[in-house]
Structure formats: structure tokens, C-alpha cells
Amino acid sequence: MGGAAVYIINIGLSYKKTPIKLREKLVINDQKLTEMNQRLNREKSIFENVIISTCNRTEVYAIADQLHTGRYYLKRFFSDVFALELAELEPYLVVREEREAVQHAFAVICGLDSMVIGETQILGQFKKSFLNAQTAGTTGTMFDHLFMEMIRFAKAVHTKYRINDQSASLSNVALQQAKETLGPLENKKLFVLGAGEMAELVIKNAKNFLVTDITIFNRTPQRAERLRNIANCPLTIHPLADFFIHLNEAEIIVSALGIETPFITKKRLADNLSNRKSSLFLADLGVPRTIDLHCKSLPLVILRDVDDLYHQIEHNQNLRKELAQQIAKEINEATDAFYRWQTQLGIVPVIKKIRQKTLLAEETAMASLANKMPDLSDKERKIIRKHMKSIVNQALRTPIKEIKEIAVQEDAQEQIEFVKRLFGLADGGNNHDENNQSRDKSKQTGAHSNKTGPYSDPTTV
């Protein structure tokens, strides 16, 4: 918001530079999110805020009256909430301001900043976090508009580019290749060998391909029972020893066994496929391989191993990156649109003039005090200035919030003119403030660039 009187700040940490042993300490669960949003919003420099907390990131988006005070309170919030020294957190915290913060938010909600580029889960998490903050009363005109626009934008991007269709997991790619080979999987019978984590991912991804006929084979069928909870269709469960008895029923076989020698050999497969009329797709997710490589030489058998699947994943990741670059261009345009909206509000110049006027009043009062009480020490003057700033900030907090709210109402212009008259900003007031603009701007710039210590009080700057 270059030169404006309110600023957007983002501060947080993510999987990119924060180890999981620290990330797992820095998660705010849903039950505490409302309380934490309200706690942060009580800080005198924070006007609006939204907290995003997932397994891969914990971030705060805030609107503050000044950059340096905003940074100070947001860092202190992280330190206090998670009971960690700032020195321990600071190497991992990333601070973004103004346009960079807005662009980052757009990138996050679109999945461009995720471990898997373009994943859609973050959109739901982002929306849920925003609605929590909105209900908690910690958003206002700016963030209500920005976050709703980001949600709309992300939905449109996913619909337009379908970036999540470019699979980036072994289990998903295996099913995608089965679909490309055999056609739609709705009426195909899927066999899954194993009941571990990889098998679980196969079951979960099968939902996306509308698979409704799944049979699991596992050495201990009881262990496979838990997978019924994640399937979107009834599961049939058999002991692994019965696999070849049922083999000819399958059209797709995905092996997620954790064994060191092939379970499906060419001979055993050939012996059980002698009368087969249709293609059989096999995907081996195991390392070491659990399906003999030579099985692919059999008629009607299509076999994909881990290397085959990773080649497809690499190709898909490159496609995702290309799509991400196209989306990044649209994010720039969406960011431009947000700032145009903000400028059109007419709110920024008004708040800025109010700030300039109060700043001039502070300087005048301090100069008068210096003349009348020349014996004051530097320490005493700093204390007086600190408390004077605190009083002014507290006095302006509610009026500024209200000004931002009326700025988007139907009679906004009329109400803004009233506010300008109320604060003596119209006509002569405008000229007077403009004459002092360069002086006030240089002072504000100095304050914003001043580097305070992690726990030094920013009001003393």
C-alpha cells in the first residue's frame, strides 16, 4: 500500500525451511483458533488478522497501522503463543509486507506454495480459517474483500487449469495410467495387495476415479478391516494366499506389498490367465519389486513398476510448474485489481491525513514541552513521547476502523466528506497537511525502517 496509513503484513513458517520437529509444536488447532485470532486482534497496532494453521504451515495475515510495530507484535505473538524464545523461532519466520504478502496469499490458496504444486486441500483450509476469523470479529472491510476475492480466484483457477489432475503421487498415477489404458474405471474391478500406508492411499485415490468394486488381499485380513472406514464403496477382504484363486476376476491389480521377493511371478500369472479374454493392468508400487518384470511379456498383461510411474510423475510435475507460471501471471493481475479497489475506496488518503495531523500535533506538543521544560532528560522525553503516542493510537483505533467500514457503503463519499470536515481535513485542512507532507513522510519512513530488537517496545522508536 505504498505510502498508505495501513499495511498488510504476513509472517509465518512452513515446510520449506522449518523442520517437522519444530512445525509440530507450532500448530494451532481448530478449538483454539478463535481465541488466538481475538488475542492477536487486541494488540493496539493490529486492525485485522487471519491465522492459517495446517500441518505444513502456520501463518498470520494482518493489517497494521505501521510496519515496524506490526512486525514486532506478530513476532511477539508467535513467541508468546507457542512459549518459545524468539531467538529459536526467528531463523524460520518469514516476513512479507504489502504487495509481496498479498501475492503470497494468492499463491498459498491456489496450492502453488504447497508440497504438491496445485493441490486443492489448502483452499478448503484457507476458507475455513478466514470464516473463523470473520466469526471471531477479527476481519473488516479490507480482509473481507481480499479473502473472498482470493477464494473466488482459487476456485476459478482450479476449474480453468485443473492443475490437480496432473497426478503427483504413485498411487494416483497408477490409477490414472489404468484409466488411460482400460478406459473409465467406474465398472472395473480393482484388487489391492497389502493393507499398509501405500494401500491406504490407493483406496483413498480410488474415490477420485469412481471405483466401486475393490478387493483387498493381505496376509492378515484383520489388519485390512480398518480400510473400510476410508473407502467410498464396500470392500471385499481375502487372505493373500487366496489371491490366485480370484485372479481372473480382476481388471486392475495394484501391489503395495512390503516383501523382498516377487509375489506374482510370470509362471504363476501365466498359469492363471490361460482363458483370459480382456486386458489386465498391473501396477507394482514396491521396492524391491513384488511383481516379476517378465510378466509384461505375457499376452493381455500391462505392467507398470515404480520407475515407470515416477517418469509420469516427473512429467506431471513439469506440467504443474508450467501451469503454475501461468497462474502466477494471473495472481499479479488479481493483486493489481485488489489495490485498485483499495485506492478507489478513498479511505487511504483520509486515514493518512488523520495520521499526519496527529503526528504534527505530537511534534508541536513535544516542541512546546521542550521549551517550557528544558531540563527534561532524554530518557524523560522518550517516556513522554511513548505515552503520548500510546494515547493517540488508542484514541484513533476505533475511528479508523469505523472509517474503513463506512468507506464501502452506498453513501461512502458523503460520509468520507463528513469525516474530513470532522477532523478539519477539508479545504484549508487539506492544504495545511499537504504543506507538511514531505516532513511527515520522511519521519514515517525513518520509523518504518528502524530495526528494533525482538522485545524492545516499538513505541519508543
Whether 72 contacts 458, CB under 8 Å: yes
pLDDT of amino acid 400:
81
Residues contributing to the annotated binding site for substrate: 54-57, 114, 119-121, 125
- 55 bridge partner residues: none
| CATH 3.30.460.30 residue ranges for the chain | 7-166+318-343
pLDDT of amino acid 449:
32
User: Which residues lie closer than 8 Å to 112 by C-beta, 6 or more apart?
Assistant: 118, 324, 327, 328, 331
Instruction: With CA atoms as reference, report the closest residue to 336 among 69, 99, 110.
Output: 99
- For residue 242, give Cα distances in angstroms to 215, 249, 263, 272: 12, 12, 12, 13
pLDDT of amino acid 342:
81
pLDDT of amino acid 237:
96
Is 55 one of the catalytic residues?
yes
Q: 161: helix, coil or strand? A: helix
The secondary structure of 301-322 as a DSSP string is EEEE-HHHHHHHHHHHHHHHHH
pLDDT under 50 in the chain at which residues? 1-4, 428-461
pLDDT of amino acid 408:
61
Fold adopted by 7-166+318-343: Beta Polymerase; domain 2 (3.30.460)
- For residue 260, give Cα distances in angstroms to 247, 266, 282, 383: 21, 16, 18, 73
277 burial via Cβ count (<10 Å: 0-12, 13-18, 19+): exposed
Tell me the three cell numbers of residue 423. Answer: 477532523
Residue written as cell 494401500?
Answer: 199
Long-range pairs, 351-354, Cβ under 8 A, ≥24: 351/4, 351/5, 351/6, 351/400, 351/403, 351/404, 352/3, 352/4, 352/5, 353/420, 353/423, 353/425, 353/429, 353/430, 353/433, 354/5, 354/396, 354/399, 354/400, 354/403, 354/423, 354/425
pLDDT of amino acid 142:
92
Tell me the three cell numbers of residue 153. Answer: 480466484
DSSP structure class, residue 228: G
Residues contributing to the annotated binding site for NADP(+): 194-199
Sign of the alpha-carbon torsion through 67, 68, 73, 76: positive
Tell me the three cell numbers of residue 375. Answer: 531540563
Half-sphere exposure of residue 4, counting CA atoms within 13 Å on the CB side? 20
Q: 59: helix, coil or strand? A: strand
Whether 185 contacts 211, CB under 8 Å: yes
User: What CA–CA distance (Å, rounded) separates 66 from 124?
Assistant: 31
| CATH 3.40.50.720 residue ranges for the chain | 170-314
Average pLDDT, the chain: 86
Whether 365 contacts 357, CB under 8 Å: no
CATH C-level class of 170-314: alpha beta
Residues contributing to the annotated binding site: 54-57, 114, 119-121, 125, 194-199
pLDDT of amino acid 429:
40
Cis status of the peptide bond prior to 288, with omega within 30 of 0:
yes
Radius of gyration of the chain (CA): 30
Catalytic residue among 55, 110, 233, 295: 55
User: What CA–CA distance (Å, rounded) separates 177 from 406?
Assistant: 55
Strands of 57-64's sheet, edge to edge?
46-53, 57-64, 7-14, 94-97
